[in-house]
Amino acid sequence: MDETNIVKTVTRKIFPVLVLFGFYLVSYGHLSPGGGFQGGVVLGSALILLCLSQGIAETEKRFRYPTLNMIKSTGALIFLGIGFLGIVLGLNFLTDFLPTGEIGSIPSAGSILLLNLAIGMKVGTGTFLIIHTLMKFIPGDKNGNQY
Read off the pLDDT of residues 81-98 as tens digits, 9 standing for 90 and up.
Answer: 999 998 999 999 988 888
Question: Do residues 118 and 82 touch, judged by C-beta distance below 8 A?
Answer: yes
What parts of the chain have a pLDDT lower than 70?
1-3, 104-107, 139-147
CA distance 138 to 145: 10
For the entire predicted model, the pTM comes to: 0.82
CA distance 25 to 117: 10
CA distance 51 to 45: 10
- Give SS3 for 135: helix
pLDDT at 128: 93
Q: What is the DSSP letter of 143?
A: T
- Give SS3 for 95: coil
